[in-house]
Amino acid sequence: MPPRPPRDGVPAVPPKCKDRVIPPPRDTLCPHIRQLQRDPGDRSRAGTRGCWLGDVPLGAPSPSARFRMAGRDPAPSSCDCFVALPPHTATPAVIFGKNADRPRHEVQEIVYVPAAVHRPGDKVQCTYLEIEQAERTHAVVLSRPAWLWGAEMGANEHGVCVGNEGIWTREPVGEDEALLGMDLVRLGLERGSSAREALEVITALLERYGQGGSCKEEPVPFVYHNTFLLADRSEAWVLETAGRYWAAQQIQEGSRNISNQLSVGREITAEHAGLRQRARSQGWWSGDGEFSFAEVFSLPHQPPRMEAAKARYRAGRELLRQHAGHITAETFMAILRDKDSGICVDSEGFRTAGSMVSVLPRDPALPCVHFFTATPDPSRSVFKPFVFVANPKPTPQVRSPTFREDPAKQIPRFRSTVDRRHELYRRHQAALELMERDQERGQKLLQTLRDLEKQGLEGMNALLGGTVAPSPEELADLFFDCVEAEMKFYT
């Protein structure tokens, strides 16, 4: 196992939290959350339109799951993605969520990239490959491993969300450097103004450039192919790949999850033009009967990682079924925090490095709200809201340092290591150390952070309920101020 990063000094718990659990004082909240909560009457008026984010954590794991300390070492796991559409959602909105499960000590940062116009002939350097740049790229917010160009998950200014997961299929994976699935996530967001457009971008680039190269920052390659979940205000798509081949399923209602395995069966909405011929030429399909992408392209003998994913997939599907018709953003946050199912991972080798939940209202007059943790283990992290506006305030506290001689960019790659921890990660890491060493104090701090998160959720609920209309300037500061409020409890 890689060595543990050096420990920071454990921060002092805020004085009033040492002996008793208290909600965060209002002066620690960002001023724009306070502004969104200023009128007690707003709460009742918001209720007439339904609860967008959830007043209580529906489907929350049991206390033992929510507050379990690190130490379990389940079979290696990876990501889980979820989407819910009406009539499964509590309000007229599409809700997207993802846990990014990565090597334990990898750092995930939150990056905002503004929209841009590019010159003809411009190129863009992805993680390994340089490709042609598009004429225009959309503004995006990304949660990404700090060493690469792409992203594990993110959203764009048009209300499109994309997340990816690793899979292994009959098509061999190659160590030759090409586009990573995480590069395709970012490229789809930057170039697609709808989920369907993002899918078309990803599949065109996949067919042209292929996918490949190591997906972790270590000398020993870790290579996989990818599945994707894409969503916008009106629909969602599951896109699954095997080499340069792919199949996609459109989701227009209900809910869906993906967990490191092929799940698109016979309900194929779109596919690679040569998909079925490829299957026949390899002897994987006779050509008789209905064609199932999952049955034909899945490995006959699954590796342990994919076998473990089956249980997570079934657990995620059951959690969605239990809350069908009542799903809110908080429902998804609770699901992403569920350790009993393995959806929230905390093992010696892998853990949930970052989490995201997005609310995409059907009403185009309402903004989309995207929540990011920017820290590992959502069961002990805070979801913080981001709303697209012009010129959001930079948040350097969740940006990793850059290096002149970056081992991820030098050839041969990954021959040395660097410390990519950003400031919020460092302080949160020290808080995790406290939670593991002193459960009583740790749980008091955790409860304080939950109270902070709840007040942010209430503010966003008022925004989506149409009961308040903050200025663009207030929304531009929102994510920065919520990160700052969280950091106050770590120092």
Kindly list the catalytic residues. 79
Q: In this structure, what are the phi and psi dihedrals at residue 149, rounded to the nearest 5 degrees?
A: -85, -35
94 alpha-carbon distance from chain centroid? 15
Q: Is the dihedral of CA 106, 107, 110, 111 positive or negative?
A: negative
Task: Please answer whether residues 83 and 229 qualify as being in contact, where contact means their C-beta atoms are separated by less than 8 angstroms.
Answer: yes
Calpha distance 98→152 (Å, rounded)? 9
Q: In this structure, what are the phi and psi dihedrals at residue 298, rounded to the nearest 5 degrees?
A: -70, 150
Q: Concatenated DSSP letters for 338-384?
A: -TTTTSS-B-SSEEEEEEEEEEEESSTTSPPEEEE--SS-GGGS--E
Q: How many CB atoms lie within 10 A of CB 32?
A: 24
The amino acid at residue 242 is: A
Calpha distance 9→219 (Å, rounded)? 30
Q: How many CB atoms lie within 10 A of CB 9?
A: 7
CA torsion angle 328 319 83 346 (round to 10): 100
162 Cβ neighbours under 8 A, 6+ residues apart: 153, 154, 155, 185, 188, 189, 195, 198, 228, 229, 230, 231
Calpha distance 111→46 (Å, rounded)? 32
Calpha distance 226→212 (Å, rounded)? 10
What are the C-alpha distances in Å from 11 to residues 113, 134, 398? 32, 46, 18
